[in-house]
Amino acid sequence: MVDSKETRKIRFAKMHGAGNDYIYVNVMENPVADPVRAAIVWSDRHKGVGSDGLVLIDKSPIPEADFSMRIFNADGSEAMMCGNASRCIGKYLYERGLTWKTEIRLLTLSGIKTLLLHVADGTVERVTVDMLEPVFEDASQFAPARDIKKGVFVSMGNPHYVIFTENVDQVGETGRVMEHHPAFPQRCNIEFAQVMPSSEGEGGVIRTRVWERGSGITMACGTGACATAVAAALTGRAGRMSHIIMDGGTLDIEWRESDNHVYMTGPAAFVFDGEIVLPHQ
100-123 CB burial, b ≥16 within 10 A, e <16: eeeebbbbbebebbbbbbebeeee
pLDDT of residue 227: 98
Q: Residue 255's beta-bridge partner residues?
A: 262
Q: What pTM was computed for the model? A: 0.91
Per-residue pLDDT tens digits for 143-160: 888 889 999 999 999 999
Q: What is the mean pLDDT of residues 261-267?
A: 98
Cα distances from 61 to residues 64, 66, 69, 176, in angstroms, run: 9, 9, 11, 36
pLDDT of residue 4: 46
Q: Are strands 189-196 and 159-164 parallel, antiparallel or unpaired?
A: parallel
pLDDT of residue 67: 98
Q: What is the mean pLDDT of residues 116-136?
A: 97
Per-residue pLDDT tens digits for 37-79: 999 999 999 999 999 999 999 999 999 999 999 999 999 999 9
Q: Residue 17's beta-bridge partner residues?
A: 20
40-63 CB burial, b ≥16 within 10 A, e <16: bbbbeeeebbebbbbbbbeeeeee
Nearest to 194 by CA among 214, 160, 170: 170
Sorted by where each starts, the structural domains of the chain and their CATH numbers stand as: 4-132+267-277 (3.10.310.10), 152-260 (3.10.310.10)
pLDDT of residue 260: 98
Does residue 279 surpass a pLDDT of 90? no
Q: What is the mean pLDDT of residues 78-89?
A: 95
Averaged pLDDT score across all residues of the chain: 94
Does residue 199 surpass a pLDDT of 70? no
Q: What is the mean pLDDT of residues 7-31?
A: 95
Question: Taking the alpha carbons of 153, 106, 114, 211 in that order, is the dihedral positive or negative?
Answer: positive
Does residue 11 surpass a pLDDT of 50? yes
Q: Looking at the annotation, which residues are catalytic?
A: 82, 221
Cα angle 46, 51, 54; round to 5: 125
